[in-house]
A and B are shown apart, each in its own frame.
Chain A
Amino acid sequence: MNSTQIPKRTFDAVIVGGGGAGLRAALQLSQANLKVALISKVFPTRSHTVSAQGGITAALANVSDDNWHWHMYDTVKGSDYLGDQDAIEFMCRNAASAVYELEHMGLPFSRLDNGKIYQRPFGGQSQNYGGEQAIRTCAAADRTGHALLHTLYQRNIAARTQFFDEFFALDLIRDDEGTVLGVVALEIETGEASLFESRATLLATGGACRIFRHSTNAHINTGDGLGMVLRAGLPLEDMEFWQFHPTGIPEVGSLISEGVRGEGGYLVNKDGEKFMTRYAPNAKDLASRDVVARAIAQEIRAGKGCGEHGDYVHLKIEHLGAEKIMERLPGIRELSMQFAGADPITDPIPVTPTAHYMMGGIPTNMHGQVVSPVRYGPEEPAPGLYAVGECACVSVHGANRLGGNSLLDLVVFGRAAGQHVIEYLRDNPYPRPLPQAQVDKALARLARWDKPKGTETVAGLRDEMQRIMQDHCGVYRTEALLKEGLAMLDKVEARLPDAALSDHSRMFNTARLEALELDNLMAISRATLVSALARTESRGAHTREDFPKRDDDRWLRHTLYFQQDDQLDYKPVRLKPLTVDTFQPKERTY
C-alpha cells in the first residue's frame, strides 16, 4: 500500500495523546468551534495521567500564607537552575487560575473545613524564598490524576471533541520547508493506516520511562511523540535528565506518592534511623526528589537497606492512624497491600528510587510551539507543530521536577498551546500540498514488520535495552558506565533489523504495536545515553560521580540531541523571567 491509497481525513488540528495535556488542549480548540481530532492509542482515561496521585501545585494560600513568587522560586531552585525562568513564571503565575478552572469544571477536590480546596505539603516547597515549609499542593485524596483526567475527558464529551480512540500515530508529515502537515496513524482495531491532514499538529504523547527496567510508568509510556520528532529531523532537549522517584515499590515499580511524606510519613533505614535528617537537615523527608532519591541510594549502598537483599528502605505512616490514612491516602494503602503485601496502617511500605519522569523532551516555547535551531537562532518554531506535557521540554522542570508541578504543567501549557493553535490557524488558513514521499516513509515503517522471518524478537531486544538503561543510566552515573552502556546499546540496536514478528495479522495486532513502540524506546535510550555522557557535571537528577559538582560556567545550558550522527548542540538557559527579577543560580541545599 502507498500514500495514494490510504484514506485521508482532514482537520483544523490534530492532537496526538489523550492524557491531561492533550485533553486540555483539545478542550480549548473544541470550545473555539474548530474541527479537532484527538488521536490516542488507548481510550483516553487509560492514559498515564490517571496514575498521578499526590496533587497539583498552586499557591492558593488556602492553608499556609503563599504566593506564586515563592512557588516560582521553589521551582527554579528545584530545577537546579536549569529551568527557563520565563516559562516557570508563566506556569506559576497561571497556576491558581488553572486550578480554579479545574474546580469549575467539576474536579472533585478534597476540601478543607471552610469549604476551600484541600492542600498538602510537598517536597521542595517553601514560604518566603526558602523559609518554612509551604502547603501548596491541591489534592483529590491521593487520586488527583484520576480526578483530573476524568474531569477533562468529561468536559471534552460535553464539548463534543472528536476522538479517535485506539489509533496509533506512526509519523509526522513534514514538508521541505519544515512545516508539519499532519500525521500518519494506524487504526489499531482494523490494522489500517490513514492520513490525518491538519494545519496544526499537537503532540501530547507523555513520558517514556519504559526505557528502564523498573519504572513507575504505565506500559504505554513509550515516548512515541519523541520518536516521531527525532525521525522528522528535530532535536530533543535535556534527555539526560530523568527523575528517579524516591519511593517506588521495589521490582513492580508502582508509585508511592510524595503526598505520603507530605501527610507526615518518613523514611527509615534498617536500623530504624530517620536518615533524611542527615541529608537534608531542614526539609528532611520533604527535600527535593533528586536529593531524597540519592539519600536512599546512599543508604542502600552503605548496607543500611532493609530486607533480605538490603535493596530498599522503609516508609512509615502507622503514626498517622487508620482514619487519616483511609481518608487521605486510600489509593496508596491499596497499592501497598496489592503490590508490597504491606498494610501501611500497621506495617512500613518498602520503597526504592524508581524511574518516574522525563524532565527533557521535545523543545518548545511557552506557547507549546516546537522550537529548534534553524536559520535565525536557537529557538525557531517548526510551523504547525506543538508539544505539551511530559513529552515536551518547555523547560519548567529543568534538571529536577518538583512534585505537583507535572499536573500543573499539563493544564497550564495545554491551555496556552490550545490558545496559540487557534491564533496559528487564523494566520495560516490554507492547506499546503502534502509531500507523498513522507507518507510513504511512514508506511514503510509499518510494512517493515511484515518481514516473515527473523532471528530476534521484539520482547527480547526490549528487555536487553531496559536492562542496559537500568544498569548504566540510573541514579548514579560515570563516564565508564555510560560508555559501556552506549556500546551495549549499539549492539542491541544493530540487531533490531533482524527482528521479526510471528504474528502478521492486521486486526488489533498488539505485537506489531509493541514493535513500533520499540523503535521509539530505542531512539530515546540512545538520546539519553549520548546526552548524559556529554554532560560532565552533576545537576538535579543527573548525578555524575566523576563530576560531583554543578558547573554553571560550562553547563548552565540546555542539551539538544539530534538523531543524525548523534549530534549534540546546546542553547542557553533563559534566566530572564517575564516580569520579575532573575533568581541567580546559587548553591542548592534543603
Chain B
Amino acid sequence: MRFRIYRYDPESGAAPFHQEYDLDYDPKGKKVLDALIAIKDTLDESLSFRRSCREGVCGSDGVNVNGTNVLACITPLEGLKQPIEIRPLPRLGVIRDLIVDMAQFYQHYRAVKPYLINLDPEPENERLQSPQERAELDGLWECILCGCCTTSCPSFWWNPDKFLGPAALLQGYRFIADTRDQSTNERLDFLEDPYRLFRCHGIMNCVEVCPKGLNPTAAIGKIKSLLVKRAL
C-alpha cells in the first residue's frame, strides 16, 4: 500500500514535506492507525503520532486522511484512495509530524467552565433526574475532545483565538442542558459574544466529521435560541 505522510522535524531546521511509504500490508479489517504503527515498527521509527485506546474512545489520534478529519484508529484502510495522504489536523500548530499543539483547543474547552455548577447543599443520595431530562444530555456528553470538528471549521480557521469552536460549544451546551446545573444565565452571558459563539455560520463541517456522530451545530443552535428567548 502506498502512503503519503506529512513530515516535520522541528530539530532539523528543514521545512515540512510529504514522505511516501510503500508498505507491504493486507488492509483487510485494518485501520489507518494499524498502518501507521506498521510503518513506524518496520519502515521508519521516526514517524510520530499520538495514539492510546485504538478503539475510537480516547480521542488521541485525530488526523486528516485524504482531506477529511478522522480518528486514525477507526478509519478502515480498505476503500481509501491511494496514495493515502495523512496530514496533521488543520490549523493547529504542528509539533512534529502528525502531532499538533492542542493548547488552544483545550483553552477554549476550559473557557466554557466544563463542570457542573450547583451551589445547593449536597443531598444525602443522588440528585434526581428523569430519563427524559437525562436524554437531553445524549449527543453532548459523549464528546472525546479529539479536535476533528473544531479543526474542520472555517470559522475556527479564521478566528482560532476568539471563536470557541464546535467542541467547546458542544460542552458549553452540555452543562446548560443539564437540569442539575444552576449556572445557565452566567453561561449564556459568557457565550453571548460576536466571536465566541456567533462566528458559527452553520457550515456544519463539524457534523460531517465527528467520529462519534455528534451534532455540535444543533447544540450551537440551541444556545442561540436560548439567547433569543432570554432577550424577549
Which residues of A come within 8 Å of B, CB atoms?
42-43, 45-48, 50-51, 60, 99-100, 103-106, 108-117, 140, 143, 146-147, 150, 154-155, 157-158, 189, 218-220, 251-252, 254, 331, 334-335, 338-339, 341, 457-459, 463, 501-503, 505-511
Within 8 A of A (CB), among B52-90: 52-60, 74
B106 CB to nearest chain A CB (Å): 8
Q: Given that A154-B114, A508-B95, A508-B99 are contacting pairs, would A50 and B126 also be in contact in the complex, using a CB cutoff of 8 Å?
A: no
A-contact bits for B113-138, CB 8 A (1 contact / 0 none): 11110100011111111110110010
Kindly list chain A residues whose C-beta atoms are within 8 Å of the C-beta of B145: 43, 45
Q: Can you list 30 residue pairs at the A/B interface with Cβ under 8 Å?
A: A42-B50, A42-B52, A42-B58, A45-B58, A46-B58, A46-B59, A50-B57, A50-B144, A51-B58, A60-B126, A104-B123, A106-B181, A108-B137, A111-B130, A116-B125, A116-B128, A150-B141, A155-B115, A157-B110, A158-B113, A218-B52, A254-B55, A331-B57, A457-B41, A503-B46, A505-B11, A506-B11, A509-B48, A510-B48, A511-B40
Query: B194 on the interface (CB 8 Å rule)?
Result: no
Q: B134–A108 contact, CB under 8 A?
A: yes
**B interface: dominant SS:** loop
Within 8 A of A (CB), among B164-201: 175, 178, 180-181
Closest partner residue, chain B, to A145 (CB atom): B57
Q: A115–B129 contact, CB under 8 A?
A: yes
Q: B58–A143 contact, CB under 8 A?
A: no
How many residues of chain B are within 8 Å of chain A by beta carbon? 55
B126 CB to nearest chain A CB (Å): 4
Q: B56–A338 contact, CB under 8 A?
A: yes
Within 8 A of A (CB), among B1-56: 9-11, 29, 40-42, 45-46, 48-56
Kindly list chain A residues whose C-beta atoms are within 8 Å of the C-beta of B51: 219
A449 CB to nearest chain B CB (Å): 11
Docked pose: A335 CA to B46 CA in angstroms: 30
Known: A42-B60, A146-B142, A509-B48. 10 other contacts (CB 8 A): A46-B58, A46-B60, A106-B178, A111-B134, A158-B115, A218-B54, A219-B52, A219-B54, A254-B55, A505-B9
Which residues of B come within 8 Å of A, CB atoms?
9-11, 29, 40-42, 45-46, 48-60, 74, 95-96, 99, 102, 106, 110, 113-116, 118, 122-131, 133-134, 137, 141-142, 144-145, 175, 178, 180-181
**A-B pairs, 8 with minimum CB distance:** A106-B116, A115-B128, A459-B41, A503-B46, A154-B115, A46-B58, A103-B126, A511-B45
Q: B134–A110 contact, CB under 8 A?
A: yes
Q: A335–B178 contact, CB under 8 A?
A: no
Closest partner residue, chain A, to B41 (CB atom): A459
Docked pose: A51 CA to B58 CA in angstroms: 8
Kindly list chain A residues whose C-beta atoms are within 8 Å of the C-beta of B48: 508-510
Kindly list chain A residues whose C-beta atoms are within 8 Å of the C-beta of B74: 338
Kindly list chain A residues whose C-beta atoms are within 8 Å of the C-beta of B53: 46, 48, 50-51, 218-219
A180 CB to nearest chain B CB (Å): 27
Docked pose: A503 CA to B54 CA in angstroms: 24
Kindly list chain B residues whose C-beta atoms are within 8 Å of the C-beta of A140: 141
Closest partner residue, chain A, to B46 (CB atom): A503
Kindly list chain B residues whose C-beta atoms are within 8 Å of the C-beta of A154: 114-116
Q: A502–B46 contact, CB under 8 A?
A: yes
Q: Given that A45-B144, A341-B29 are contacting pairs, would A505 and B46 also be in contact in the complex, using a CB cutoff of 8 Å?
A: yes
Closest partner residue, chain A, to B51 (CB atom): A219
Docked pose: A326 CA to B124 CA in angstroms: 32
Q: Given that A459-B41, A509-B48 are contacting pairs, would A116 and B114 also be in contact in the complex, using a CB cutoff of 8 Å?
A: no
Q: B122–A339 contact, CB under 8 A?
A: no
Kindly list chain B residues whose C-beta atoms are within 8 Å of the C-beta of A509: 48
Docked pose: A146 CA to B142 CA in angstroms: 8
Q: Given that A45-B59, A189-B95, A508-B95 are contacting pairs, would A100 and B126 also be in contact in the complex, using a CB cutoff of 8 Å?
A: yes
Kindly list chain A residues whose C-beta atoms are within 8 Å of the C-beta of B57: 50-51, 143, 146, 331
Kindly list chain B residues whose C-beta atoms are within 8 Å of the C-beta of A103: 126-127
Closest partner residue, chain A, to B212 (CB atom): A334
Docked pose: A505 CA to B99 CA in angstroms: 15
Q: B45–A501 contact, CB under 8 A?
A: yes
Q: Given that A50-B53, A146-B142, A507-B10 are contacting pairs, would A111 and B129 also be in contact in the complex, using a CB cutoff of 8 Å?
A: yes
B7 CB to nearest chain A CB (Å): 12
A409 CB to nearest chain B CB (Å): 20
Q: B46–A511 contact, CB under 8 A?
A: yes
